[in-house]
Amino acid sequence: MLFQTQTMICIFSINGTIFDETTPVFTAASRGYRYGDGFFESMRFSNGRLLHGELHFIRIRKSAMLLKMKLPEDFDRDLLEKWISEAIVSKNIQNARVRCTIFRESPGLYTPVENKCTIVLEIVKTENAGYDWQENGLKLGAYKEMSKNGNFVSTLKTTSCIVHVMAGIYARENQLDECLIYNETGRIAEGISSNIFSFNGEFLNTPPLTEYCTDGVMRKVVINLAQEYGYTVIEQPVAEITLNSADEIFFTSATRGIRWVKYYNDKVYKNNVSKVLFDKLNHMLL
């Protein structure tokens, strides 16, 4: 499970042990494979440190608790960062995208016999320590064939992501960079892999968690950054009319930072506020 190509270096670590590509690890009986019984956390490793590590670990603990998964007793933030650092050092990497996937490992069909977990780290090398600004902006569309159901796991990043997968396929087929995903009430929840913000006049808007958007780490970071800079942030439901009348739209994620939208519904959007917040975000990495 350790492989390298000309364009990508990728490392896999399972419960702290690095595996090579020829070592069999999972079987067809894995609950992650059979039921999508797990969740994941996407993170950024920059210049020898895990960015926003405390916020990521808090969400890991919260997700495990809500999904009734039993993390190893010694698994804490320090151990998580130790496993990541050991894997990264093994390939002499400085900057990387890290995905931590946690599966329930137990016999049983839908009902597991026990709730112990397996922790998988997938680490992919990135070239830059900071986030990349996209000068051309995104072309945004709307995916309405499926909606995101409203329940307590909707704010988590579970491994059951069929709505997001189908939205991604829709975006690819329609030459879009990003797609809106709606909740079951018909309001906007988020993007394919990001939280959404809009700016109108003097207010920065983003859907509240009660709209079943993902409880994103970068969402929290950007809200705090915006408030520190003097913007008024309002968490309120977002309808299409909100975006149509907005001056700016942008998306946030822990691995890609802030990405601004240039085109949506034949309208061209600005990037003044998103660029200010992007620069402040990158300044935090210094």
pLDDT in tens, 251-271: 999 999 999 999 999 999 999
Report the relative pairing of strands 257-264 and 248-253 from DSSP bridges.
antiparallel
Query: Rounded distance, CA 141 to CA 167, Å?
Result: 10
The class of domain 138-283 in CATH terms is alpha beta
Q: Count CB neighbours of 90 within 10 A.
A: 13
Q: Label residue 21 by pLDDT band (50, 70, 90).
A: low
Burial 110-131 (b: 16+ CB within 10 A, else e): eebeeeebbbbbbbebbeebbb
Is residue 212 predicted with pLDDT exceeding 60? yes
Q: Nearest CA to 207 among 144, 161, 251?
A: 251
Residue ranges, CATH 3.30.470.10, the chain: 3-125
Q: What distance in Å separates the CA atoms of residue 139 and residue 150, rounded to the nearest whole number?
A: 27
All CATH 3.20.10.10 domain ranges of the chain, comma separated, are 138-283
Alpha helices in the chain (DSSP H): 31-35, 53-66, 77-90, 162-173, 217-229, 240-244, 272-283
Tell the residue number behind the tokens 């992501």, with chain if given: 161
Residues in the chain: 286
Quickly state the pLDDT bin for 3 (edges 50, 70, 90). Answer: very low
Q: Who has greater pLDDT, 181 or 28?
A: 181
Looking at residue 147, the DSSP 8-state letter turns out to be: E
Interval 137-193: pLDDT, tens: 999 999 999 999 989 899 999 999 999 999 999 999 999 999 999 999 999 999 999
Residue 201 has a pLDDT of 86
Cβ-contact 213, 190 below 8 angstroms:
yes
> Nearest CA to 231 among 283, 274, 168, 279?
274
Tokens of 224: 């705090």
Pairing state between β 138-148 and 178-183: parallel
The reply to whether the predicted model has a pTM over 0.85 is yes
Contact 119, 39 (CB under 8 A): no
Domain 3-125 sits in CATH at: 3.30.470.10
CA 103 vs. chain centroid, Å, equals: 17
**Cα dihedral 81, 82, 84, 85 in deg (nearest 10):** 110
Provide the pLDDT confidence category of residue 4 given band limits of 50, 70 and 90: very low
